[in-house]
Amino acid sequence: MNRAETVVSAMLDAIRGVIVEHDVTYEEYAIAKQWLMDVGEAGEWPLFLDVFVETTVERNAFRGRAGSAGTILGPYHLPDAPVLDAPFELPRRPDEQGEPLTLSGRVTDAEGTPLAGAVLDVWHADAEGFYSGFHPDLPPGIFRGKVIADAEGRYEVNTILPAPYTIPHEGPTGAMVAACEWHPWRPAHIHLIVDAPGHEPLITQLFFEGSDYLDGDVAGAVKEDLVVRPVGGRVEYDFALAPAEVPLAAA
């Protein structure tokens, strides 16, 4: 059996098993079929998969990897955020609301050796829970930028504390969440991709102690190691990167 046949057969067997176990009716089958088409028509497959499936892929793919904990990327990363100038501050509007927050720490390899010039691509929602590039009220580029670590691997970036937010819930994904009587919230978080030559990029998020929905993230992406406690508006967090996986051809 090739890989596609192995995985697809297992998936179909799992679905058939659920139908039998739960006596799924023809009417329910028709509703599910229409819902699957609606998700596609609404362009919500990336959203649905990142909310309900990505965390399992991430936890499985990086199980046992050296270095700091990662978590899901989600659908709101924009790869072309600018490299900012020191002293680093994420772009904001002149009248930006929100509690000031300074995030700092060190980027090292998995053995603790500093990684000079490491790049931290940082993005997060505003104090109302909206992302620039995805919400019409925010000018492009707000709360997005790349920060560079110094010669000792130290980084520091000024921003604000983002708010918890709901995943979009007016479409078919939200209809499923409502039908299951779940909530659509994610706890407040800051996204980062930390990268340095010769190392695996670390895709991660930092969450805040005491934040609403920390124990009930709809995307299931919270890990204990990623929960930080701001003290006096400051958070210290060190990132350790795993060595790059050697491609088989070069081994």
Q: Give the whole-angstrom CA distance, residue 122 versus residue 100.
A: 16
114 binds, among ligand BEZ, Fe ion, none (CB under 5 to 8 A by kind): none
Task: State which of residues 50, 109, 121, 126 lies at the interface with ligand BEZ (CB under 6 A).
Answer: 50
Residue 227 beta carbon to ligand BEZ: minimum distance, rounded to whole angstroms: 15
Binding piece for Fe ion, criterion CB under 5 A, among 13-21, 42-50, 66-74, 145-153: 66-74
Which residue stretches of the chain are H helix? 3-21, 26-41, 45-52, 54-61, 172-179
Q: Give the whole-angstrom CA distance, residue 177 versus residue 185.
A: 11
Q: Within 66-95, which residues bind ligand BEZ (CB under 6 A)? A: 72, 74-76
Binding piece for Fe ion, criterion CB under 5 A, among 50-58, 74-82, 133-141, 226-234: 74-82
Place of tokens 């919270």: 222
Residues 115/196, Cβ–Cβ less than 8 Å: yes
Q: Within 149-168, which residues bind ligand BEZ (CB under 6 A)? A: 167
Binding piece for ligand BEZ, criterion CB under 6 A, among 1-9, 17-25, 46-54, 195-203: 46-54
Which residues, 6 or more positions from 150, have their beta carbon under 8 angstroms from its beta carbon? 116
Indicate the residue type of 173: T
Q: Give the whole-angstrom CA distance, residue 88 versus residue 150.
A: 12
147 binds, among Fe ion, ligand BEZ, none (CB under 5 to 8 A by kind): none
Residues lying near Fe ion in the complex (CB under 5 A): 74
Residues that bind ligand BEZ (CB under 6 A): 47, 50-51, 72, 74-76, 167, 219
